[in-house]
Amino acid sequence: AQRGIAAHGRSGLNVWVPVRDESAVVNGLRSRGWWVAAGARFRVASGPGVRITTADLEVADAPRLASDFAAALTDSPDTYGD
């Protein structure tokens, strides 16, 4: 939220972030060392998004993930939400 990225999740194990271009965001995060999943196989009625599993995410690593996510969106400015 501090970086203007809306995300939501019900289980606490996964977070869903709506984006326009799943591939661009996934590739941007992977190039920064994060493994996330394009949302196509997880969604039924929602638009494109990225699924981030947070079950093993250390609290200390969360700010870096948020910064890297914001940077991945900046790399391809037309990729974030609607």
Is position 6 within any domain? no
Residue 8, in any domain of the structure: no
What is the pTM assigned to this prediction?
0.76
Least trusted range by pLDDT, from 6-10, 45-49, 61-65: 6-10
Q: Starting at the earlier edge strand, list the strands of the sheet with 37-38.
A: 14-18, 49-53, 37-38
The reply to whether 3 falls in a domain is: no
Closest by Cα among 60, 82, 77 to 25: 77
Name the domain count of the chain: 1
Interatomic CA distance for residues 82 and 79, integer angstroms: 9
Answer for the pair 54, 13: CB distance below 8 angstroms, yes or no: yes
d(CA 11, CA 15) in angstroms, rounded, equals 8
* Structural domain includes residue 51: yes
Over residues 14-46, the pLDDT tens digits come to 888 899 889 999 999 999 999 999 988 888 888
Domain residue limits at 50: 14-79
